[in-house]
Amino acid sequence: MTPAEFRTLPGDSPPQAKAFWLRTEDGVRLRAALWRSDSPQGSVLLFPGRTEYIEKYDPVALQLNAAGFDVISADWRGQGQSDRLIADPRPGHIAHFLDYQRDVIELVVAAKELGLPRPWHLLAHSMGGAIGFAALQDGLPVVSAAFSAPMWGLNRTWPVLQLARLITALAEKTGYSECPAPGSGGYDPFVLRASFRKNLLTTDGPRWGRIVAEAASWPEQAIGGVSNHWLSEALAECTRMAALPSPALPALVGLGSDERIVSPDAIRRRVRMWPEARLMLLPGCRHEPMMERDRIRTLFLDAVLTHFRTAAQRPDPPNGEGSGI
């Protein structure tokens, strides 16, 4: 694990995170980060969403540290400072959606080698929620999971989804699979094109400003819309996940009342199918509860911490050591 850069903006405190490089079995270089707690009672595997990077979650990780959890996270392949997968670094792209599980494996291996204290918990946002759900199916060694607006479906009508499947299939046949999918935002980062008033992520002005400042200051870490092939893979993965059984461990799922990116219906369906899952509705929240106004953010993160602590006290927590990963 060779050291990697963890960036800060002017005026930031020196980072407490330690960033380092990992290498997956198929040769992709990933950037990961570890935040250590002074008095750890367990650890959190933090799975970011699409377009995101480890610096964005520094405030969340520090709050988890203060609550007694070590935190480990990574830039997924194709974004952040991890290797990009196509010649043009701007579109979000993936060859196969399950390739993200290769990144999960390396993160788990690193957590074991670094001696992160048990029990482990999963905290996953948006696309990270899809990756996390698949990882739980493979035996991710956690005793509980918390999801923030998980991408278990896309917030589009059935005709639009069918049209997307048709367009992406046509793009594959005509050599445009690596180009941005129509309606996904093109080559430029969404946060540099959208106004605060119209953004779909948060109602918190200062936190929105921070996201914009990071994208403007670190353009090589930002990505634009998704490639046609990414969209095709994501649609197929959402269909695949919908047919899977629910994991045998407790889950907390946060969903904003103003969610416009992922499918609230898909989230509700999964929670109904998951005996140990609880849906937490967040009034006035958009897509990112952990980047929202203090009232919403605190409500969600306090519930996450209570969820983790309660799961850790179970006499025989399921999936605690894990065997598949």
**Average pLDDT of span 193-211:** 96
Task: Please say if the pLDDT value at position 47 is more than 70.
Answer: yes
Task: Please say if the pLDDT value at position 323 is more than 50.
Answer: no
Task: Please say if the pLDDT value at position 324 is more than 80.
Answer: no
Which CATH architecture describes the domain 18-312? 3-Layer(aba) Sandwich (3.40)
Over the stretch 251-291, which tens digit does the pLDDT of each residue have? 999 999 999 999 999 999 999 999 999 999 999 999 999 99
**Average pLDDT of span 89-110:** 97
Per-residue pLDDT at 1: 83
Over the stretch 124-179, which tens digit does the pLDDT of each residue have? 999 999 999 999 999 999 999 999 999 999 999 889 999 999 999 999 999 999 99
Of 99, 97, 86, 51, the C-alpha closest to 178 is 86
**Average pLDDT of span 8-35:** 97
Distances (CA, A) of 223 to 79, 167, 177, 180: 7, 22, 17, 11
Contact at 8 Å (CB) between 291 and 201?
yes
- Give the mean pLDDT of the chain: 95
Task: Please say if the pLDDT value at position 320 is more than 60.
Answer: no
Per-residue pLDDT at 184: 86
Task: Please say if the pLDDT value at position 322 is more than 50.
Answer: no
Burial tier of 267 (Cβ tally within 10 Å: 0-12, 13-18, 19+): buried
SS3 labels along 167-228: HHHHHHHHCCCCCECCCCCCCCCHHHCCCCCCCCCCCCHHHHHHHHHHHHHCHHHCCCCEEH
- Measure the CA dihedral 237/242/243/247, to 10°: 100
DSSP assignment of 59-76 = HHHHHHHHTTEEEEEEPP
